[in-house]
Structure 1
Amino acid sequence: MLAYNHEHYIAQAIQSILDQKTDLDYELVIGEDCSTDNTRVIINDFKDRYPDKINVIENTTNVGMHENFLRTLFSCRGKYLCLCEGDDYWINPDKLNLQYQFLESNPGYALVCGNHKKFIQQINQFDKGNPPSVKDHDIEFAKLIRFNCITTATIMFRNVLKREDFTPDFFSIISCDWYMYMKLLNHGKIRYLSHTFAVYRINEGSINGRSTRLAIAQKEMKFMELVKTGALVRLDDSKMEHLNKSIQLKYYDIAQGEALNGNRKAAFRLTARTFRNNPLSVAGLTDFFKTTLRIISPDFFQTLRGIKRAVRNAW
């Protein structure tokens, strides 16, 4: 568990793990990154009450998300590991049992995950969102490279990664867990179980603003380019084809971000260049026209998305 300035949420996160109904011998390792609030005080109170269950990694200086992630990850000693941010929490008391049993029975899998609920802190309510998948299924590279579709708080994975798996590039990428998932694909498959395991909390300042959306799309592109070097996961022809398609779609995302920021000329140039690279497919035409419409009228699509979300949450 990673913790930094989570004083309002950390107790719920810790308690949700201690509430697991299991006979498994497990340890909660918390990486506390020099919070400026009462996060460390709350954590140490739990540690005093559960000394055999909780191990706290107390950084003497703030090292940042990536280094704290690695320090905490490699302080874990179990055969299988789970992750949960300090502002998220588990809601399925059988999470450990269900995922442990799956990995024990399926040695060809490196990671298992599941569904989550999304809680929007700013409005203090759950986002109903799209209904989750009701079928267990594998998560293939083709989907995982398009976007990080795995919620961190829902996972359990084999403790097979080494510190040297995390190259200096790791410290500049957008998502610690996305990088890790790619590395784990070298050790086995990924399985989605149709159980709701956790709550993912969206705090104020999360990925909502227009400039933030553009910056995120650009960082995701940087991550995809890193994957393309073969530094994270072994690439065959099929994976490379899916990767190139994802990169093209990400260019459209960047173009839409430029449009939202008012840079329509840059958005049109990027859209046209991307389309020229793949003009003939039906999917390519669809992506091109969809992006062009969003460039012409970004506010319309933003309003439409807001109305759709409001109607969905009202039901």
Structure 2
Amino acid sequence: MKSRKPKVSVCIITFNHEKFITAALDSILEQDIDFQIEIVAVDDASTDNTHDILNSYSRKNPEIVRIYQNPFNLGPYRNFLKALQLCSGQYIAICEGDDFWISTSKLKKQVAFLDKEADYAGCIHDAIVTDADGRVTASSYCNHLQNKFDLKDSMKSLRGRFPTCSLLVRASILNDNPPQWFTSHACDTFFLYLAAKTGYIRYMEDKMSAYRIHSQGTWQGSNNTSRRRGLLLQEKILWSDRKMRTTCGEIIRSRIQVLSHEIAVDENESKTMRLHALFLRTRHGFSNFKTIRVSLGILIRILR
């Protein structure tokens, strides 16, 4: 008799992905596997037809597709943590609602590797990059020279350099109380670090998924300064953890310094641009006392 517990839980977090979610679900259901899987899809209160599409897949595949809809928007970190906690498989694979897989043997290859190599806690691989319409914009997302990463290697080389849709980890990394830095800021990078704390990470050169870049993406839709502020917050959260500070303190401290400097440069450039715009707006109107007063007020705010 087959066990009801799935071998792999495929974790999907989604928000307003009606244009993309079908490709994600189809690519998972088309996997060539001889083990059970479940799809755990958590919709973060989408305002488009994402949830309706998810429901239609659940009705067609009730034994595989499990759908959850948040009554209100939790945001990407809390939604990701919720989705992970709902997974029941031996392994957890990640496929966000706007990405998709391009190899029907993706899960088979990754699971076979982790089944064989007990000292590895996770596995990632290369991917292609596409635009919103699925057109290929880059034939490779990453090209790592090594294929075995411990925690320090992961922090040095894999931060922002692995496609989320490639990640497969042992679910057991969540068994012991996860550190506060993860539960408070659950994201793909921290999930990788959590795996790397318990075992090695394997990198495969195979391109088995597609990472989609589009303007509606949580990360791609933000500007460089916002991204750097988000990265800086992550590093400060890691720094607050004594164990992480002891193990990887030099890496974290260096990143905090670099990001702080880059943000300062961004802010100075922004001030320069705003001052230039103010000059262009007022250079022909300084005879007007009201214009002078308003301009001085704006100038004081910019220089603060």
* TM-score interval, normalised by the smaller of the two chains: 0.7 to 0.9
**Matching of residue 53 in structure 1 with residue 64 in structure 2:** yes
Instruction: Report the Cα offset of residue 202 of structure 1.
Output: 1.1
Cα offsets for 1:5-57 (capped at 9, x unmatched): 11111111100000101111111111122211111111111111111111112
Q: What does residue 258 of structure 2 align with? A: 249
- Quote the RMSD (CA, aligned, Å): 2.7
Cα offsets for 1:46-104 (capped at 9, x unmatched): 11111111111222333222222122111111110101111100111111111001111
Q: What does residue 31 of structure 1 align with? A: 42
Give the residue type in structure 2 aligned to 1:155: L
Confirm or deny: 8 A CA contact 1:115 1:154 kept in the other structure. yes
Q: Report the CA distance shift for 1:196/1:80 in structure 2 as closer, same or farther (over 3 A).
A: same
Q: Secondary structure at the match of 2:227?
A: helix
Whole-Å separation in 2 of the counterparts to 1:151 and 1:3: 16
| Sequence identity (%) | 26
Whole-Å separation in 2 of the counterparts to 1:60 and 1:6: 17
Give the residue type in structure 2 aligned to 1:67: R
Q: What does residue 181 of structure 1 align with? A: 192
> When the two structures are aligned, how many residues end up with a matched partner?
258
**Matching of residue 8 in structure 1 with residue 31 in structure 2:** no
Confirm or deny: 8 A CA contact 1:29 1:76 kept in the other structure. yes
Whole-Å separation in 2 of the counterparts to 1:84 and 1:12: 11
Instruction: Report the Cα offset of residue 261 of structure 1.
Output: 2.3
Which residues of structure 2 form unaligned runs of 5+?
Answer: 1-11, 274-304
Q: What does residue 163 of structure 2 align with? A: 151
Confirm or deny: 8 A CA contact 2:126 2:140 kept in the other structure. no
Q: Secondary structure at the match of 1:21?
A: coil
Confirm or deny: 8 A CA contact 1:143 1:149 kept in the other structure. no
Confirm or deny: 8 A CA contact 2:151 2:200 kept in the other structure. no
Q: How does 1:118-267 map to 2 (within 5 A)?
A: 118-121=129-132, 125-128=135-138, 132-133=142-143, 137-142=147-152, 144-146=154-156, 147-160=159-172, 161-162=174-175, 164-165=177-178, 167=180, 170-171=183-184, 173=185, 176-206=187-217, 207=219, 212-230=223-241, 233=244, 235-236=246-247, 239-262=248-271
**Larger CA deviation: 100-109 vs 155-164:** 155-164
Confirm or deny: 8 A CA contact 1:80 1:159 kept in the other structure. yes
**Matching of residue 115 in structure 1 with residue 126 in structure 2:** yes
Which of the two has higher C-alpha Rg?
2
Confirm or deny: 8 A CA contact 2:37 2:89 kept in the other structure. yes
Confirm or deny: 8 A CA contact 1:136 1:192 kept in the other structure. yes
Confirm or deny: 8 A CA contact 1:170 1:179 kept in the other structure. no
TM-score (norm 1): 0.73
Instruction: Report the Cα offset of residue 258 of structure 1.
Output: 2.6
Whole-Å separation in 2 of the counterparts to 1:263 and 1:104: 56
Q: Secondary structure at the match of 2:255?
A: helix
Q: Report the CA distance shift for 1:8/1:77 in structure 2 as closer, same or farther (over 3 A).
A: same
Q: Report the CA distance shift for 1:29/1:42 in structure 2 as closer, same or farther (over 3 A).
A: same
Q: What does residue 289 of structure 2 align with? A: none
Confirm or deny: 8 A CA contact 1:81 1:158 kept in the other structure. yes
Instruction: Report the Cα offset of residue 181 of structure 1.
Output: 1.8
Whole-Å separation in 1 of the counterparts to 2:44 and 2:65: 16
TM-score (norm 2): 0.75
Instruction: Report the Cα offset of residue 187 of structure 1.
Output: 1.0
Q: How does 1:271-286 map to 2 (within 5 A)?
A: none
